[in-house]
Amino acid sequence: MGSSEIDANPKDTANWPKGVWTLPPTFRLGDQDRARHAAIGEADNFVLKFRKPTQ
């Protein structure tokens, strides 16, 4: 098993009042702090990699 920071957003502190939905593209808080949240960008993402087992 491995890990990578390929989809990490260093500006995302993961401590938002409405979770990841506070950040774009959802903007759950509406216009409240919208410019600050837009500057952060989207939340951290992750990718799952599946492999077919070898026989």
Work out the average pLDDT over 21-27: 89
Judged against a pLDDT cut of 80, whether residue 10 lies above it is answered with yes
| Three-point CA angle 37, 49, 28, nearest 5° | 20
**Nearest of 47, 41, 48 to residue 9 by alpha carbon:** 41
Per-residue pLDDT band for 1 (boundaries 50, 70, 90) equals low
Predicted local distance difference test score (pLDDT) of residue 13:
85
pTM, full prediction: 0.64
Question: Which of residues 48 and 35 earns the better pLDDT score?
Answer: 35
